[in-house]
Structure 1
């Protein structure tokens, strides 16, 4: 039996080339009459950086600032993603109905992508890969590579030039 994709999770880093992967995700959503969920994961700040900032600012002030700004940042990114999707779909407004949800989360990008896919019951994950070269992967790893290695569902990785 051929696979059917009803829920597609498109994970974006909001880079300039993200539209290329989005177009693939939307084409699949259109072909399968699927709903498309858009996700952006804000990586957590490194503990060493937080410790330094807490020392300079004071822990209480940092905690107050961090709580207030996390919500603002999530809302702003959600607005940007919505504007991006509507701009991309300007020539196909009928596809806007396929945009089921926009999620902005904090955490480890690969782990959050996989967790959100589980939460949604996604049939497919679509994300872009920057292809920064062998040395980059050796030392830093890549979100796409980590998702591919840990995924329990199909993943479409779109090269982003």
Structure 2
């Protein structure tokens, strides 16, 4: 496995989980990695200089404490500026294969109006982001893929496989669909038996298309469990992940051309905000 890993920290306990996960992956991949801290540039120069020195010393000590035996020692990098912008610029400059970050501090009001740091990184960047939530184990044991049978979902599945994140895991694929015809027929007063029959046909067609879609992904030769239901996509992904005690959820962010700068796919956004396990969010291919 090759590719640079960028670990972004805000010095919180949540970021320590990201550091542990990033160091573990760097060891597994034999990959170079960088530990990045961004200093807010809207502070006096003296405070910025003091913070650069103290943070650098703290992070070097943290690395010494947490570095697994045999893992490459990461470079410590302190940058000044806007957080999500600095993270994306650094990832681009270093050609990072993955950004690892800790879970966000939940603030409902700020999340609604500004989005979380991870969301803003995904809004404006093209590098996959791994949100580390759980204590690090050697491998992920139970992985849930949230899919929509589109190129973004295929790219997310293939990215997780290519990174080796799911090689030792039990896999579950979750797909949510909406049977609009059933809703329309119900409102039109069509016989319930006929509605049920047509709904069953739609279910079978959906399953057939889903298996066809998955046959063109990197899990085609793997054993996996398929869960698909007429439900809200984020809710069913989170429910299945909770029921299985999954330690990783993989989703595509489904960027929307010009809107990508201001919004994240609602499914990925909900999963990132509510998941109790690690989440790999993969932006679409540009």
Shorter chain as denominator, the TM-score bin is 0.7 to 0.9
Selected match of 1:145 from 258, 269, 284: 269
Q: 1:25 to 1:75 in 2, by over 3 A?
A: farther
Matched with 1:87 is 216
- Cα gap change, 1:65 to 1:17, in 2 (>3 Å): farther
Give, in angstroms, the shift of residue 136 of structure 1. 6.7
Q: 2-side partners of 1:44 and 1:108: how far apart? A: 12
Say if 1:151 and 1:2 are closer, same or farther in 2 by CA, change over 3 A.
closer
Task: Give the whole-Å Cα distance in 2 for the aligned partners of 1:155 and 1:84.
Answer: 22
Per the normalisation by structure 2, the TM-score is: 0.44
Count of paired positions: 145
Structure 2 match to 1:29: 166
Which one has more relative contact order, counting CA pairs under 8 Å at least 6 apart? 1
2:236 to 112, 130, 133: 112
**Structure 2 portions without partners, runs of 5+:** 1-134
Which residue of 2 is the match for residue 121 of structure 1? 245
Matches of 1:69 and 1:53, distance apart in 2: 10
TM superposition outliers: structure 1 runs of 4+ over 3 Å: 52-55, 63-66, 134-138
Cα pair 1:26 1:36 within 8 Å, conserved: no
Structure whose alpha-carbon radius of gyration is higher: 2
* Contact 2:152/2:253 (<8 A) preserved: no
Find the counterpart in structure 2 of residue 155 from structure 1: 279
For the Cα contact (< 8 Å) 1:124–1:153, is it kept in 2?
yes
Assess, with a 3 A threshold, how the Cα gap between structure 1 residues 128 and 134 changes in structure 2: closer, same or farther. Answer: closer
Residue 43 of structure 1 deviates from its aligned partner by: 3.6
What CA deviation, in whole Å up to 9, does each residue of 1:121-144 have, x standing for no partner?
211110101122268739xx6111
Secondary structure of the 1:101 match is strand
Contact 2:179 / 2:202 at 8 angstroms: preserved in 1?
no
Asked if 2 retains the 8 angstrom alpha-carbon contact of 1:128 and 1:160, the reply is yes
**Partner residue, 1:2:** 136
Greater helix share, 1 or 2?
1
Cα RMSD over matched residues?
A: 2.9
Moved more, 77-86 or 99-108: 77-86
Unaligned runs of 5+ in 1: none
